[in-house]
Amino acid sequence: MSIHFLTMNRSIETFALTRHIDMSVVQLPFQFPVSCPSLQPPDSGSVDIQTDGSTSTAIYSCVAGYQMSGPSNRTCGTDGAWNQQTPLCGR
């Protein structure tokens, strides 16, 4: 017979599944998926969002004939906030 417990360490927002089997303890880490605000693409550009579950990356590009001013990548971590500002696409 096994008993499952879910414990949480709020300082790093990581959960652990603890399983007791024959008096031994095994902890399996678990992180909730990152939740970040939606982003709008710059005028004359696009944004592609990729995530690995704990960090999201926004990759910006401009249409042909336009040049980017600002960061081409932004990241959002477990705090749910995007770093940096949205880039601009201009001629």
Give the distance, in angstroms, between the CA of residue 32 and the centroid of all CA atoms in the same chain.
Answer: 10
49 and 28 part of one domain: no
Per the rule left: phi > 0, alpha: psi between -120 and 50, beta: everything else, 84 is left
Can you tell me the distance from the alpha carbon of 19 to that of 79, in angstroms, rounded to the nearest whole number?
28
Residue 4 has pLDDT above 80, yes or no: no
What does the mean pLDDT of the chain come to?
Answer: 78
51/79 same-domain check: yes
pTM flag (> 0.85)? no
38 part of a folded domain: no
User: What would the pLDDT profile of 25-41 be if each residue is shown by its tens digit?
Assistant: 666 565 666 689 999 99
Please indicate, yes or no, whether residues 27 and 50 belong to a single structural domain of this protein: no
Q: Which domain holds residue 77?
A: 45-90
